[in-house]
Structure 1
């Protein structure tokens, strides 16, 4: 039994929908596939870094209310697992995961506390091989075509191209994707709201947005209304880009 450690930072909420809880438990054996579907449908992965677990939870709540359905909390956030546990209890139907995971111990603890996906800046083979199939989705990072192919061959269902802005942005991503049209890819690092459509048009399953949603000034000032509105804009842009791409494919 997991003790609600989120109480330690005063962030545990009672806003739990029993229907969501039923859905989550009923489909728990297919978590990885459901997260993959959420990523493809939303076009956005919100990446949250905060200076405390309490701040992370409040910012995450604002983003989730704004329409974000896939949310990553980075390991650099103090009390990251407290925030994770609180959020997966509050929003059992959302795809909430942990990012910058670098070893199996972190991965195992995150999954035990309810993380539905794990993300790394590079490929950590121990995580891919040790995370039970279907229990959580692992998204490794890759910077080159060789790394993308290697991660896919090892079994990764989706890979993030990172750090994409430093490597050449949309143009670089498009060239990598052209070589691997069959491999789902996520664009990560340095993107703003205005670039979401371009990346998805070039074949990205989703775009990772950090400061574009969790604006540094808004986070420092605890301006959760602004974060909510940025999340609304991001969710809308992601949905529009996904719909446009699907219409073009039909």
Structure 2
């Protein structure tokens, strides 16, 4: 797949499904069950996060991506998140990740994504960072941390950058979800522990995870929630 095709496909998917759920710090052996529970709650896009503080970050993320892919097939779109090195891009791609998210704009990471034809979603916060990420080849730009300064900041910062599609992440929850999704150029949002609560995972309360996911997807219009890939 050409880089441009991958970017366009990802953009179409995030516009359709509107929510990407980040799986961070979940044991690899629980990834598939968590993904299935989220799927039942209407979630169709996931991010398996590299925990950079862990000595086994790459190994754990690869195992997680592979286990979800084996269990869910092509029912869900699986990305890799907090990707910060070329090696991690390659490892994620080999494991089956379909897109790459990062907390920053790293030319090496973006270059490797380009070589492999993987859509890249680098993180940015200021207008300069957002513009630099887009110029460097982002499929869309992750505005992070999105919720810190609220919707007024997003409106202000994107006003002169209305050609750049955004994924908002950080501080978004069920109470402000629709406010962020209604913003111009906010194609989708990323949500982590607000949905994937550590205690639910620890206690394997997957039905509660499904119910929590539904509290988010029920706020989407019918065409955006729970469709088939």
TM-score, normalised via structure 2 length: 0.86
Give secondary structure in 1 for the equivalent of 2:33. helix
Q: CA 1:35 to 1:88, structure 2 compared with 1: closer, same or farther past 3 Å?
A: farther
How many angstroms does 1:31 deviate by?
4.0
Q: Does residue 1:145 correspond to 2:127, yes or no?
A: yes
Q: State the 1:134 CA deviation.
A: 7.6
- Structure 2 regions of 5+ residues with no counterpart? 52-56
- Report what 1:172 is aligned to: 153
Deviations 1:164-188 (A, max 9, x none): 222x021211212222111001111
Partner of 2:43, secondary structure, is coil
The 5 Å alignment of 1:1-250 reads 30-76=5-51, 79-89=60-70, 90-132=72-114, 135-166=117-148, 168-203=149-184, 204-239=186-221
Moved over 6 A (4+): none
Aligned length: 215
* Cα distance, 1:74–1:232 mapped onto 2, change above 3 Å: same
More helix by share: 1
Q: Quote the Cα distance in structure 2 between the aligned partners of 1:112 and 1:240.
A: 34
Which residue matches 2:54? none
Deviations 1:17-63 (A, max 9, x none): xxxxxxxxxxx664443222111111111111134101222111211
C-alpha RMSD of matched pairs (Å): 2.2
TM-superposed deviation, 1:242: 6.3
CA distance in 2, matches of 1:45, 1:152: 20
Cα–Cα, structure 1 residues 159 and 207, in superposed 2: closer, same or farther, change >3 Å?
same
Q: Structure 2: how far apart are the matches of 1:119 and 1:131?
A: 10
Contact 1:74/1:99 (<8 A) preserved: yes
Larger Rg: 1
Q: Which whole-Å CA distance do the structure 1 matches of 2:130 and 2:220 have between them?
A: 24
The one-character-per-residue Cα deviations of 1:115-148 (angstroms, maximum 9, x if unpaired) are: 0011111011112112246832110000100000
Deviation at 1:235, TM superposition (A): 2.2
Q: For 2:170 and 2:223, how far apart are their aligned partners in 1?
A: 19
Q: Normalised by the size of structure 1, how large is the TM-score?
A: 0.79
Task: Tell me, yes or no, if the aligned pair for 1:173 and 1:187 is still in contact at 8 Å.
Answer: no
Rounded to whole Å, the distance in 2 between the matches of 1:53 and 1:174 is: 38
Equivalent pair of 1:72/1:98 in contact (CA under 8 Å): yes
CA positional deviation for 1:231:
1.6
Name which structure has the greater RCO, CA cutoff 8 Å, separation 6+: 2
Question: Secondary structure of the residue that 2:176 maps to in structure 1?
Answer: helix
